[in-house]
Chains A and B, each alone.
Chain A
């Protein structure tokens, strides 16, 4: 199936831990994104990579570090997790032209 896939789907962890979320797309898209949806359901962009190059960084704390080993993968590593990091994180990809994004199904992160 052509898609954007994220793992894990659910992640429960304690404050202070470090965790990673992985994202892969097999659509051949050039650009990938991480979005955060908080408890109030606002969707906010965090990062965007185009062909492994960081192009958007929306003043996200340094504890969040995206890594793109190739244009089909964009992983998100979070250090020293805080309660406020609890949210649903969505990965997405898009072609380099006028067209829609394809979103993954999300990773629900709960920090306790």
Chain B
């Protein structure tokens, strides 16, 4: 079973920030938070990951609460092409041998 909880769907106006929440209250000390998205039926696309500090890259920002029990993915200026299902996943990050368990994700719809 997935160790994360996400709202099933969200809407966001084009050009506005999209804030996608994720609860992971049972996260362990060695587990990272990863975010992926899947646009239509394409392969999932890696967005960002973090352990306890906030992270930013060219795609998004990841804000992790101090107790690490929840996080928020921020798309600063959402475009129509950001419409996708967004998955929040936790797993140990120090080895590629650990599997991802995908939940149902959040279906983000960016509105024109």
Contacts and interface: CB of A to CB of B under 8 A. Distances in A.
Interface of A: 4, 29-31, 33, 41-45, 48, 50, 55-56, 58, 88, 90, 92, 94-106, 108
Contact of A106 (B42, B49, B93): B42
6 contacts: A45-B100, A50-B96, A97-B93, A100-B36, A100-B47, A101-B44
Contact of B41 (A33, A88, A99, A102): A88
Contacts, number: 67
B53 to A, nearest CB: 13
Contacts of A29: 96
Interface in B70-94: 85, 87, 93-94
A42 B51 CA distance: 25
A30 B43 contact: no
Given A41-B85, A44-B102, A92 B43 contact: yes
Nearest to B92: A98
B104 interface: yes
Q: Is the interface of B mostly helix, strand, loop or mixed?
A: loop
A45 B96 contact: no
A85 to B, nearest CB: 17
A110 to B, nearest CB: 13
A28 B105 CA distance: 29
Interface string B41-70: 111111101010000000000000000000
Nearest to A91: B43
B97 to A, nearest CB: 5
Nearest to B91: A98
Given A42-B102, A44-B102, A106-B41, A96 B46 contact: no
A96 B49 contact: no
